[in-house]
Amino acid sequence: MTNTMSGNAGTISAGLRMAWPARRPSGRAVLVVLLMAGLALSSRGVNAIALSGMSAAGPERAAPAVTETAALQAEARRLLAQYRGNPPALRDSAGAALAAGRNDATVAVFLKLRWAGRLRAGLERYGAMLASADVQQLAFAAAGVQRYGAQLHNGLLLDGPSRLITVSIHDQRLIAYDGGRVVVDAPVTTGRPALPTDIGAMRVMRKDAPWTMQSPWPKGSPEWYPDTVVQMVVWFTRNGEGLHDASWQPASTLGPGSQYGPFASHGCIHVPLAAVKALFEWAPTGTPVVVYPGD
């Protein structure tokens, strides 16, 4: 929900998005386009922020071309043997690896990890080759995608912040990492198209339990809702967006596509109660929260 914070320490306008200052339009849609174009991203209130504990060196320096080519050729031979006679399955597997790598690259770019651009370029170089009709070329491209995808993922976990919360809009999924280990993995529901959840690198700003969400919209408005109590909220923006439970939403309706459904929020992120309890106890103020479009 979207919520507006009042002077009462236990009340906020729901949506459940709270309005610390009144909500202003952001450049979220523009951000997504810029990110896909590989440009530096920023928007009012959701700028890509540099987070502590991250090295500029990156997880792995560029390998000599000859060494990398030899490694990819060996992996390509293994893939050819594994998917013998089934190029479509190989292409599908590589496509999934490409999507995962792009997601990790997006998060790394938002976190301003300096090696992200180099590894993303390598990923896309081989990703562009996946359309090849030549099975040898396809296998080589798949090997390259897997290599750079693995480097991006490992780099994000090992060189990024020790504690990290990520939310994919496409997958409607939240994953929290602690030292590279997944500690929370849960389906979620983000903001509806008219009131989408902000995109970018943010931080846990405060936590409240319980909390009364109060509508920042007047009664009679299509966005108005009655005062709504939630058990706990982990706020990650100053304009009223937080991770919170949503007792009115059936658990079965969380997950992919739910941002278009009847339980879509006003900008907050609905999380199963058990998951938000874990996050509430685990994530201190300052924990990075990265919301990204997803591939």
Q: What is the rounded CA–CA span in Å between residue 135 and residue 160?
A: 36
pTM equals 0.79
pLDDT at 27: 44
Say if residue 211's pLDDT is above 80. yes
pLDDT at 15: 42
- The whole-number average pLDDT for the span 5-27 is 41
- What would the pLDDT profile of 175-208 be if each residue is shown by its tens digit? 999 999 999 999 999 999 999 999 999 999 999 9
pLDDT at 58: 54
Q: What is the rounded CA–CA span in Å between residue 69 and residue 82?
A: 20
pLDDT at 89: 97
pLDDT tier at 48, thresholds 50, 70, 90: very low
More confident residue, 18 or 240: 240
Nearest partner of 269 among 15, 10, 5, 47, judged by Cα: 15
Mean pLDDT of the chain: 85
Q: What is the rounded CA–CA span in Å between residue 137 and residue 143?
A: 10
pLDDT tier at 14, thresholds 50, 70, 90: very low
pLDDT tier at 5, thresholds 50, 70, 90: very low
All domains of the chain in start order, with CATH: 11-50+162-292 (2.40.440.10), 65-159 (no CATH)
pLDDT at 43: 35
pLDDT at 175: 98
Q: Please say whether the beta carbons of 279 and 206 come within 8 A.
A: no
**SS3 (DSSP) at 42:** coil
| Tokens encoding 177 | 């990492």
